[in-house]
A and B are shown apart, each in its own frame.
Chain A
Amino acid sequence: MAEIRLKNVSKRWKHFVAVEKLNLDIADREFLVLLGPSGCGKTTTMRMIAGLEDITEGEIWFGDKMVNKLEPKDRDISMVFQSYGLYPTMSVYENIRFPLRVRKVPDNLHHDKVMRAARMVELVDFLDRRPAALSGGQRQRVALGRAIVREPNVFLMDEPLSNLDAKLRVSTRAQIKHLQHELKTTTVYVTHDQIEAMTLAHRVVVMNKGIVQQLGTPSDIYDRPANIFVAGFIGSPAMNLVHGDIQDGVFNAENMRVAGLPLTVSGPVTLGFRAEDAAIGPETGEIAAGVYALELLGDASLIAMQVGGELVSIKAPKEFRADIGTPVRASVPAKICHLFDRTTGARIEERIVR
């Protein structure tokens, strides 16, 4: 069975801590995404699962087998690398066939398996070409084909889309999601792109500085970010974060005043809200500031304003227009606000009065 368990896994190099006491249970057939900025330990975590990196502390289990000391080839996994790692001197066909060949799969099975994989990744017409003669998207699909040909227990994917252009990324993303649904193979996927994470994952692990910040379904993470880091990392644009003080259920910052917040919280806090939850107007709106910039996104307009010394964004209807400097009001009702502890950054779980 292909559930994976990481127990207290740490990775250190001399003085640098890459991953610190990571605990993670990945269910069979799950699509799990490791998300975080570069250097957060997500790739190191995946490489430890693959066996390309030793574990300083802790244990990794595949089903009921501890794999700490197993070489990569003995873990029954396959992996898609960021720059694909194709064999430049072999044709597409030979690239896809390679895992079968070196694992001594009987020769008479090769052709059917390769063709099946090639059909799944739509490469049947390109089997004779060398990787150098392929486009970026095709190379990416060769790497996918090579990963699925052996039907391994686990797929590992390390930023597989980051070398593709924006348009191709969207279609390949859909393809990967479809493939995983068809094959029902446990998949661990590393990315720094939150949209990939939201669209692909059953569950997302948000990491920063080697520590798990939050583990949950995409909507959990979007709706209830566990701390300032997650709040600022998820969403496009990211959640607005305003530093201010709260007293008697009222939050105050430069150009902003929100009433109706929990009475139990007081002192300095960070208030967060999403651009798409806020709105322009009415005259009684919580924010009053001049327009700093207006960006037209096509389906909406994004208004930037200076609040509490930070720039915040508010989404407005696409026909909204205002000159720079014009005073504008925006409504940020208490029910869309998230409160975070200013010093620890943790979410303040007092449910906001609706």
Chain B
Amino acid sequence: MSDSLSVAYRRPPALAVLSNALVILWLVVAAFPFVWTVWGSFKVEGDFFSRQSFWDAVLGIKTMLQTGQAFTLDGYYGAWVVNQFWRSVINTAIVTVCVTVISLTFGTLGGYALARSGHRYSFWLLIAALVFRAMPHITLVSGYLLPFFQLNIWGLLPTAIIVLVAINQPFTLWMLHSFFLGIPKDLDESALIDGCSRFQAFRRVVIPVMWPGVITTGLFSFLLAYNDFAVTSMLLSQDNQTMVPKLASFLGSIEQTGKVMYAVAAVVSATVPLFILVMFFQRQIVSGLTAGAVKG
């Protein structure tokens, strides 16, 4: 393979070894916790948390003794059936889908306006968004609680959804704004000349060529809603909890009862969608991270 590099670019052997070693080491560090936890989730607690030797977890000695097989689904049964984890999965699905769709709707409209308006105030709006982006979410949450109690909308899914949409807006605006800047102005101006209104030009001409940007931004909106803990744990009632706060409330009760494997199974379950996401959208995620960087 190194034949493709010319003399000028070829690394001296020592450097090549060193840098390949770094890559391999990083690969292990990055991937190992996932591999280990997924593997361990099919074992019993005695194996996954083994004082004697990690070979217990690899070979599943106690799992064999307790269940007769090398792998067990006990943890998953406990999480999904006994603790009704599926309820929070449904809640998470509702919240993430709604947040993504609404964020994108608001964000494309606003991002387009910011990208096409040359007025001073659009600059200040972007700056305000940057400051809002930096606000720790929990500080905002402490501002919500009292008013929400008063209005009697605390604990409901729609409340959490709209709050997450709002918290998401600064980032969404910035990202879509930079994607819109990449689309030549000529395109919508020729649509305007051809007789479209601004909104028609936006919907019929600009959005069709914006799909890559919209999908990329959508991924990040999804991730924000999916990964959130501060908002969902404080604003949702017990019944409406999504996966992450549900997991957190597992922890308290579980550690006393010795059912840690339920939590491990729930953690792995919650990781699977993220795996799938990265597998299919790796390119978009990378382009999204760099789009902000290159133009910001």
- Are chains A and B native binding partners rather than an unrelated pairing? yes
The reply on B82 being an interface residue by CB < 8 A is no
Task: Give the complex CA separation of A69 and B6 in angstroms.
Answer: 10
Residue-wise interface mask of B (1-33) relative to A, using a CB-CB cutoff of 8 A (1 in contact, 0 not):
000001110000000000000000000000000
The reply on A254 being an interface residue by CB < 8 A is no
Chain A positions within 8 Å of B8 at CB level: 51-52, 71-72
Give the distance to chain B from A325, nearest Cβ to Cβ, in Å: 38
Residue-wise interface mask of A (66-77) relative to B, using a CB-CB cutoff of 8 A (1 in contact, 0 not):
000111100000
Task: Give the complex CA separation of A72 and B7 in angstroms.
Answer: 8
Chain A positions within 8 Å of B7 at CB level: 51, 54, 69-72
Task: Give the complex CA separation of A71 and B7 in angstroms.
Answer: 6
A residues contacting the other copy or chain, number (CB 8 A): 8
Task: Give the complex CA separation of A335 and B271 in angstroms.
Answer: 84
Give the distance to chain B from A54, nearest Cβ to Cβ, in Å: 4
Task: Give the complex CA separation of A52 and B5 in angstroms.
Answer: 9
Give the distance to chain B from A44, nearest Cβ to Cβ, in Å: 11
The reply on A94 being an interface residue by CB < 8 A is no
The reply on A59 being an interface residue by CB < 8 A is no
The reply on A57 being an interface residue by CB < 8 A is no
Give the distance to chain A from B15, nearest Cβ to Cβ, in Å: 14
Give the distance to chain B from A49, nearest Cβ to Cβ, in Å: 12
The reply on A276 being an interface residue by CB < 8 A is no
Residue-wise interface mask of A (41-67) relative to B, using a CB-CB cutoff of 8 A (1 in contact, 0 not):
000000000011110000000000000
Residue of B nearest to A14 (CB): B4
Task: Give the complex CA separation of A53 and B6 in angstroms.
Answer: 5
Task: Give the complex CA separation of A261 and B48 in angstroms.
Answer: 96
Residue of A nearest to B9 (CB): A52
Task: Give the complex CA separation of A277 and B72 in angstroms.
Answer: 93
Give the distance to chain A from B24, nearest Cβ to Cβ, in Å: 27
Task: Give the complex CA separation of A54 and B8 in angstroms.
Answer: 8
Chain A positions within 8 Å of B6 at CB level: 51-54
Task: Give the complex CA separation of A54 and B4 in angstroms.
Answer: 9
Chain B positions within 8 Å of A52 at CB level: 6, 8
Give the distance to chain B from A289, nearest Cβ to Cβ, in Å: 42
Task: Give the complex CA separation of A256 and B229 in angstroms.
Answer: 86
Give the distance to chain A from B13, nearest Cβ to Cβ, in Å: 15
Task: Give the complex CA separation of A140 and B216 in angstroms.
Answer: 40
A-B contact pairs, 14 of them (CB 8 A): A51-B6, A51-B7, A51-B8, A52-B6, A52-B8, A53-B6, A54-B6, A54-B7, A69-B7, A70-B7, A71-B7, A71-B8, A72-B7, A72-B8
| Partner-B contacts on A (CB < 8 A) | 51-54, 69-72
Q: A52-B6, A52-B8, A71-B7 are in contact. List 5 more A-B contacts (CB 8 A).
A: A51-B7, A53-B6, A54-B6, A69-B7, A71-B8
